[in-house]
Structure 1
Amino acid sequence: MPVPTSAPRTLYDKVFDDHVVRSGEGDTLLYIDRHLVHEVTSPQAFEGLRNAGRKVRRPDCTLVTVDHNIPTASRKNFKDVGSFIVEADSRAQVSALEDNVKEFGLTYFGMSDKRQGIVHIIGPEQGFTLPGTTVCCGDSHTSTHGAFGALAFGIGTSEVEHILATQTLPQAKSKNMRVTVEGDLAEGVTSKDVVLHIIGVIGTAGGTGCVIEFAGSAIRGLSMESRMSICNMSIEGGARAGMIAPDEITFKYLKGRPLSPRDGEEWDKAEAYWRSLKSDPGAKYDIEVEIRAEDIIPTLTWGTSPQDVVPIKGVVPSPEDFPEAQRKNVIRSLEYMGLTAGTPMEEVKIDKAFFGSCTNGRIEDMRSAARVILAAEKNGGPTKVAEGVYAMIVPGSGLVKQQAEAEGLDVIFKKAGFDWREAGCSMCLGMNPDQLKPGERCASTSNRNFEGRQGAGGRTHLMSPAMVAAAALTGRFTDVRKFMGNHIGEDGGLKITDYSDYLTPVEAPARPAEPTEQTAEGQTPVKQAAAASAGLPKFNVVKGIAAPMWEANIDTDKIIPKQFLKTLLRTGLGTALFWTIRYDVRTNEPLPDFVLNKEPWSNSSLLVCTGPNFGCGSSREHAPWALNDFGIRCIMAPSFGDIFKTNCFKNGMLPLELPQADLEALYEDASAGLEIAVDLENQQVIRPNGKPPISFTVDAFRRHCLINGLDDIGLTLEHREKIENFEEKRSTVWPWLDGVGYAKKGQKIIAVPTRQAVKKTDW
């Protein structure tokens, strides 16, 4: 199964090569070992399966939970989803997920299960995430799992459906990028500071088209939880994924977890393979970035992009500090954030403090914040959350919450005035009631500071858990080293316990029988699948008015805010397109100056953007759905976020990358309200008034699929035999990846203490 080769390969090359089912025409077909599913990006995927009469190919490779929509209020009186979740649209999505897991026979951690939590926290803590695997989820922060030496990346809803149906995914090979951090980190500097510093260096588009391998002595010295925080935010640097080579720290973390390989021969075989997962000497990288650990101090963001970083001892920057091409974006960010250039960051006051998310919702993060509180008390600092500040702590999973309470961390937080919550995504993206109000400023451990990310009009500053704790106590951004001195790495009297004590038995609902595949009379499954999926509109020539836009880094939160993700449909989102900049967030009235609210651009079928990195951020396929529903089928820009670009192709849309000079010319045409035509067959943009056309090239296979209205699932199912052959080899070479124990229909799923001798797949 492993590909023999004499050429030096990177870690990414090795994992990619080991999962090739088929290569040749179009993208490479990769086998996906692990699939995590949640309530927001899955309803339309399950409906697609249902409409096509398909079943889930590998239930044993799929793990389902709820996290984005659910309330984080106390569950002491929880009876069922219907009575507990107040918001109707959130309740509908969670209820739909529960119906879907029953119908399709999937393992599910619901709200009454102690193992429920954020997808990217429960995967590693259960041992579902393993080195050398491919891991996917309908969430951009799937890159978290790359900390284990896995190839992990976020996908859109169409790709969620593709994996459920085929356990594979067509993927283009990414470029190799290495970020090396050498040296010793200073006291008070955490992995969150490291990754924010890296993003500040490379920018939010620095890793576009790449998989980043994080390397160097500073990275090797980090714990698994710290490594997860770094890989989690590789997507904020524009990368497809982030990876760290597995080592002794990785193996120790995984030993004895419910879904890790069993002790003995199986573990030895797995570990031997895992030890081969490191880049070979002489392996080539397309991009190399080297950073000195000593250059990093506690860091936070000032603006509306994760690249807008500044050291805590710094000041709010001035537009004059940036190249002229970036100044309009900087001015907009400062206006939105309500900041004045030159203001010391330590003078900026906050209204709220949020601690949680898939970036920093683990037990190590909880301990870090608790140490700050104890140190402040010991050294004569503030002992309570500052007056006028609301501070909340949201554990990343039920097991993290259970362990934190056993260590007494919740008592430390409550005594200091923090609100101790239940597991969920919470205010990270504000899809549940945990949100900022317009104008409120928040110190946040989350991963994105986009406009409106944590609530319409809310102002988010990203930083480490320790820095959030310090800000909550003082009411303003504070250098955490003032509290900790030279002892920030010490336990500070905390009771540190072993995680395995909290893998206590928890029963989950019995699994229903797997549904049978329904085949229309007279059709083979492949033909039926192809017919059911042949519904994409053909893209030949799209002609019409083009909406002109100039901003860089137009993110998916801006294209479609989170409140519109609570839908079970792919349609009806056109009115919500660009909601936060198209409408007044207080009155919901259209803003007359926004381009799509003005004639003739209110009927645009094309969009021209001169700023790079269009569609960066989330994996939400709702962004292209909203554009498509509005009537825009082609976006022209200098570059695109990787996941957004893929999602466009999945919906019969063309994300067209053009040189800056050509875009400037088209922007002038669009601003004048003139018609433009995109001729995909002849690969030309036809300009008005006899101006010379602009030629472009598109991947030949993508072009073929768009012109003929083909989708990937039907095409993939034509290679069913190759998938089956791959699975046979996979079971022989990597038997620990087959989850036969918890896949048996009708079986109760038990999570067992690791100290008992049990089969790896018994839950």
Structure 2
Amino acid sequence: MPAPTSAPRTLYDKVFDDHVVYSGEGDTLLYIDRHLVHEVTSPQAFEGLRNAGRKVRRPDCTLVTVDHNIPTVSRKNFKSVSTFIGEVDSRAQVVALEDNVKEFGLTYFGMDDKRQGIVHIIGPEQGFTLPGTTVCCGDSHTSTHGAFGALAFGIGTSEVEHILATQTLPQAKSKNMRINVEGKLPEGVGSKDVVLHIIGVIGTAGGTGAVIEFAGSTIRELSMEARMSICNMSIEGGARAGMIAPDEITFEYLKGRPLSPREGEEWDSAVAYWKTLKTDPGAKYDIEVEIKAEDIIPTITWGTSPQDVVPINGVVPNPADFPESKRGNIVRSLEYMGLTAGTPMEQIKIDKAFFGSCTNGRIEDMRSAARVIIASEKNGGPSKVAEGVYAMIVPGSGLVKQQAEAEGLDVIFKKAGFDWREAGCSMCLGMNPDQLKPGERCASTSNRNFEGRQGAGGRTHLMSPAMVAAAALTGYFTDIRKIMGDRMSEDGGLKITSYFDYLTPVDVAALPVEPTEQTPEGKSPVKAAAAASAGLPKFNVLRGIAAPMWEANIDTDKIIPKQFLKTLLRTGLGSALFWPIRYDVKTGEELPDFVLNKEPWKHSSILVCTGANFGCGSSREHAPWALNDFGIRCILAPSFGDIFKTNCFKNGMLPIELPQADLDTLYEDASAGLELAIDLENQVVVRPEGKDPIPFTVDAFRRHCLINGLDDIGLTLEHRENIEKFEEKRTTVWPWLDGVGYAKKGQKVVAVPLKKNVKKTDW
């Protein structure tokens, strides 16, 4: 009788299955191969470790940099962050990070290191991101790394702490979703147009609860940098992560990078494994979407959500053309954006152009923009940034900047009037000095066009790097097919260099080997860590006033804007909750009509929202912190952003999904200022005046943890033996995932045999 064969599996299934440490009650415990850390979502995590007496379990699996709120001005006179960063809260976060990496022994790319850059650019750049790995970062755009066939997703600060302490993370299995893009892309259409088109088709909640695999002939033809741009914006489609199966294009990109497997036996073994990372024939997807490449033309956003897209030759939409349930959001978006229905997109004038971000801050992005400038001048079009427009270009890393300068791209940009900056997140989220002023309109290569995303009152339109360059030159949104004409496929005569030209070789065999750190008892770091749970407030029955809200897609930027993320604490954010809609952005005064500014809702402990996708957007745990600090411990909505929902549970808060009819009923109760009771033990919402209660369901394990006030780290440490057994297997089967010596200041590690006595922490 033939041996039974396993069921066909998707790419996501395979990577998930290869990382299961323990599967029992509650979520599956996954091992996390790669952890990226930055200054904004980590201070409270390190403080949590310190308070609990815990160490970082695997320093060799963590890479740290600064990016979100550092200045992008010239570093010519840089001496230290203490003297260079003027903004007090930003400086405090960066100084805290530098102190933390020293205390916990982590690899750090600081502002004086040419490898510093945006986390999602330096990871792939260094070969830290590899196929088949699990990758996490306290940033929602961690989905970028899925372009390599990695399972990569954003996390909140509590989960950052969890990975630092245990190198694992409890995770529920997501649904499988495939977006198949077939055909040849028309001229002038790039990866940013592809992903904006996709989000326009599926909506910002289309991928909720799912991991998207991007497939098809169109995707297979893309470069790694183009694939990264597409996976980067998976989160804007509501997905937990985005993935693309690795292939020869992937392997060629990774070969020889500092943290890639060593050439020779190790490289061959890695590639042999990577080639198995593709969906099996016959594997089933829960959701499938088909896209024709020929249907995509240069695309731009018009509203305040990434799903608000229109072709560049289209017009501003009319609210009357949408279902009645969506018109309120459309009207609000148009009012905020200062647009009139029916206006051709190419007649809309801009004030600023921003080029950068983890979506489009790579060398290929810069080359595409430079080609537009060259073609425009050759065709007799504008060769300078339009009068009255400020345009800035921010490389994604120090190495991207160095490569662009070697290719002469900076000369092209500066000659045309662009401001050439240093590496960082910059105006993408405006936590740094690079911001829009109220009412300013920006052509942007970033990933989000939420209200106030690039500055309070600022108006953001998302588009490709080429489209941003064209808009900067003309002063209006412009179809690059018009500005480039028959030069669309020309390379512009650019000098193309290699990333490897900017790494100084060093022999890893000559690197010093330090002894493996042991505790007095000879135990591993996790065995020596405190097993006791820090604990959370218990959630049994919550009684209180419920505040009514109706908007859909209430994003984390709206819940707590970026200017309030510069904190080292988890508390004190309640006064800033819903800042963009609770206060006048110009005067800071309360808006009297906003529900939380009125009695009795000023004292709400429950929030009833009838709009779907509450908490979409960023992974910032500051959103639930702000709600909690205000006093709101329970949110009821039709659906939630995946990361926000998880972050709520991590903070002892209860997100409840209910059918629309039940929410409409509770909305009426809340609008009347009535008190509700959330009975978690019996899983019912108790209504006032003897009205019928409304039942709800919550994951049994999450319910158990909330009722008993249990935190995840304490629970995970009960499985320390499973973690150690998994690590033994990992070192045997995938040895290239252990740290093997990391040279400093951008040196290239030469391919040599791995020394037997090199320890995991030696990089």
Is the shorter-chain TM-score for this pair beyond 0.5, marking a shared fold?
yes
User: Is the counterpart of residue 11 in structure 1 residue 6 in structure 2?
Assistant: no
User: Is the counterpart of residue 752 in structure 1 residue 756 in structure 2?
Assistant: no
In structure 2, do the counterparts of structure 1 residues 518 and 317 end up closer, same or farther at CA, with 3 Å as the change threshold?
farther
In structure 2, do the counterparts of structure 1 residues 481 and 574 end up closer, same or farther at CA, with 3 Å as the change threshold?
same
Q: Is the 8 A contact 1:53 1:518 kept in 2?
A: no
The amino acid of 2:61's aligned partner reads C
The alpha-carbon deviation at position 312 of structure 1 amounts to 0.1
Q: Is the 8 A contact 2:35 2:62 kept in 1?
A: yes
Tell me the residue number matched to 1:395.
395
Tell me the residue number matched to 1:85.
85
Matches within 5 A, 1:423-462: 423-462=423-462
Q: SS at 1:92's partner residue?
A: helix
In structure 2, do the counterparts of structure 1 residues 506 and 77 end up closer, same or farther at CA, with 3 Å as the change threshold?
farther
The amino acid of 1:556's aligned partner reads T
The more displaced of 263-272 and 488-497 is 488-497
In structure 2, do the counterparts of structure 1 residues 642 and 506 end up closer, same or farther at CA, with 3 Å as the change threshold?
farther
- TM-score, normalization by structure 1: 0.96
Q: SS at 1:227's partner residue?
A: helix
Q: SS at 1:453's partner residue?
A: coil
Q: SS at 1:93's partner residue?
A: helix
In structure 2, do the counterparts of structure 1 residues 36 and 18 end up closer, same or farther at CA, with 3 Å as the change threshold?
same
The alpha-carbon deviation at position 753 of structure 1 amounts to 3.2
The alpha-carbon deviation at position 177 of structure 1 amounts to 0.2
Q: Deviations over 1:697-745 (max 9, x none)?
A: 1110000000000000000000000000000000000000001324xxx
Tell me the residue number matched to 2:34.
34
Between the aligned partners of 2:294 and 2:131, the Cα distance in structure 1 is: 30
Q: Is the 8 A contact 1:177 1:211 kept in 2?
A: yes
Tell me the residue number matched to 2:340.
340
Tell me the residue number matched to 2:421.
421
The alpha-carbon deviation at position 490 of structure 1 amounts to 3.0
Q: Deviations over 1:490-511 (max 9, x none)?
A: 311000111110123699x999
Between the aligned partners of 2:226 and 2:143, the Cα distance in structure 1 is: 14
The amino acid of 1:203's aligned partner reads G
Matches within 5 A, 1:286-305: 286-305=286-305
In structure 2, do the counterparts of structure 1 residues 707 and 6 end up closer, same or farther at CA, with 3 Å as the change threshold?
same
Q: Is the 8 A contact 2:55 2:529 kept in 1?
A: no
Tell me the residue number matched to 1:745.
none
Q: Is the 8 A contact 2:379 2:485 kept in 1?
A: no
The amino acid of 2:451's aligned partner reads E
The alpha-carbon deviation at position 755 of structure 1 amounts to 6.5
Tell me the residue number matched to 1:248.
248
- TM-score, normalization by structure 2: 0.96
Q: SS at 1:246's partner residue?
A: coil
The amino acid of 1:328's aligned partner reads G
Q: Deviations over 1:571-592 (max 9, x none)?
A: 0000000011101111101110
Tell me the residue number matched to 1:613.
613
Q: Is the 8 A contact 1:595 1:601 kept in 2?
A: yes
Matches within 5 A, 1:212-291: 212-291=212-291
Between the aligned partners of 1:113 and 1:477, the Cα distance in structure 2 is: 37
Q: Is the 8 A contact 1:505 1:750 kept in 2?
A: no
Between the aligned partners of 1:753 and 1:49, the Cα distance in structure 2 is: 33
Matches within 5 A, 1:145-160: 145-160=145-160
Matches within 5 A, 1:528-539: 529-534=530-535, 536-539=536-539
The amino acid of 1:529's aligned partner reads A
Between the aligned partners of 1:658 and 1:756, the Cα distance in structure 2 is: 56
Between the aligned partners of 1:455 and 1:577, the Cα distance in structure 2 is: 17
User: Is the counterpart of residue 308 in structure 1 residue 303 in structure 2?
Assistant: no
The amino acid of 2:234's aligned partner reads S
Between the aligned partners of 1:291 and 1:99, the Cα distance in structure 2 is: 48
Tell me the residue number matched to 2:122.
122
Q: SS at 2:532's partner residue?
A: helix
Between the aligned partners of 2:65 and 2:512, the Cα distance in structure 1 is: 15
The alpha-carbon deviation at position 489 of structure 1 amounts to 3.6
Tell me the residue number matched to 2:71.
71
Between the aligned partners of 2:592 and 2:534, the Cα distance in structure 1 is: 40
Q: Is the 8 A contact 1:105 1:514 kept in 2?
A: no
The amino acid of 2:464's aligned partner reads S
In structure 2, do the counterparts of structure 1 residues 423 and 518 end up closer, same or farther at CA, with 3 Å as the change threshold?
farther
The alpha-carbon deviation at position 188 of structure 1 amounts to 0.1
The alpha-carbon deviation at position 486 of structure 1 amounts to 4.2
Between the aligned partners of 2:653 and 2:528, the Cα distance in structure 1 is: 25
Tell me the residue number matched to 1:727.
727
Q: Deviations over 1:12-40 (max 9, x none)?
A: 00000000000010000000000000000
Q: SS at 1:485's partner residue?
A: helix
Matches within 5 A, 1:36-55: 36-55=36-55
The alpha-carbon deviation at position 518 of structure 1 amounts to 9.8
Q: Is the 8 A contact 1:53 1:517 kept in 2?
A: no
The alpha-carbon deviation at position 488 of structure 1 amounts to 2.6
In structure 2, do the counterparts of structure 1 residues 526 and 61 end up closer, same or farther at CA, with 3 Å as the change threshold?
closer
Q: Is the 8 A contact 1:675 1:688 kept in 2?
A: yes
The amino acid of 2:735's aligned partner reads P
Q: Deviations over 1:492-540 (max 9, x none)?
A: 1000111110123699x99999987699xxxx98797343512x00000
Aligned length: 749
The alpha-carbon deviation at position 241 of structure 1 amounts to 0.1
Aligned-CA RMSD value: 1.9
Q: Is the 8 A contact 1:55 1:517 kept in 2?
A: no
Gap runs ≥5 in structure 1: 743-747
Q: Deviations over 1:186-206 (max 9, x none)?
A: 000000000000000000000
Tell me the residue number matched to 2:476.
476
Tell me the residue number matched to 1:630.
630
Q: SS at 2:612's partner residue?
A: coil
The amino acid of 1:70's aligned partner reads I
The alpha-carbon deviation at position 562 of structure 1 amounts to 0.2
Between the aligned partners of 1:448 and 1:749, the Cα distance in structure 2 is: 34
Between the aligned partners of 2:424 and 2:512, the Cα distance in structure 1 is: 24
Tell me the residue number matched to 1:591.
591
In structure 2, do the counterparts of structure 1 residues 369 and 754 end up closer, same or farther at CA, with 3 Å as the change threshold?
farther
Q: Deviations over 1:624-651 (max 9, x none)?
A: 0000000000000000000000000000
Q: SS at 2:530's partner residue?
A: helix
Q: Is the 8 A contact 2:113 2:746 kept in 1?
A: no
Q: Is the 8 A contact 1:153 1:240 kept in 2?
A: yes
The amino acid of 2:162's aligned partner reads H
The amino acid of 1:749's aligned partner reads K
Q: SS at 1:740's partner residue?
A: coil
Between the aligned partners of 2:751 and 2:385, the Cα distance in structure 1 is: 42
Q: Is the 8 A contact 1:105 1:512 kept in 2?
A: no
The amino acid of 1:315's aligned partner reads V
Between the aligned partners of 1:345 and 1:659, the Cα distance in structure 2 is: 37
The amino acid of 1:661's aligned partner reads A
**Poorly superposed stretches of 4+, deviation over 6 Å:** 509-519, 524-528, 760-763
Gap runs ≥5 in structure 2: none
The amino acid of 1:613's aligned partner reads N
Between the aligned partners of 2:543 and 2:505, the Cα distance in structure 1 is: 60
The more displaced of 488-497 and 403-412 is 488-497
Q: Is the 8 A contact 2:452 2:459 kept in 1?
A: yes
Between the aligned partners of 1:236 and 1:596, the Cα distance in structure 2 is: 28
Between the aligned partners of 1:585 and 1:460, the Cα distance in structure 2 is: 16
Q: SS at 1:108's partner residue?
A: strand
User: Is the counterpart of residue 651 in structure 1 residue 651 in structure 2?
Assistant: yes
Q: SS at 1:753's partner residue?
A: strand
Q: SS at 2:647's partner residue?
A: helix
Q: Is the 8 A contact 2:615 2:641 kept in 1?
A: yes
Between the aligned partners of 2:178 and 2:392, the Cα distance in structure 1 is: 36
Q: Is the 8 A contact 1:55 1:516 kept in 2?
A: no
Between the aligned partners of 1:299 and 1:690, the Cα distance in structure 2 is: 53
Matches within 5 A, 1:696-735: 696-735=696-735
Q: Deviations over 1:300-337 (max 9, x none)?
A: 00000000000000000000111110000000000000
Between the aligned partners of 2:506 and 2:300, the Cα distance in structure 1 is: 39
Q: Is the 8 A contact 1:39 1:67 kept in 2?
A: yes
Q: Is the 8 A contact 1:346 1:477 kept in 2?
A: yes
Q: SS at 1:359's partner residue?
A: helix
Between the aligned partners of 1:190 and 1:246, the Cα distance in structure 2 is: 20
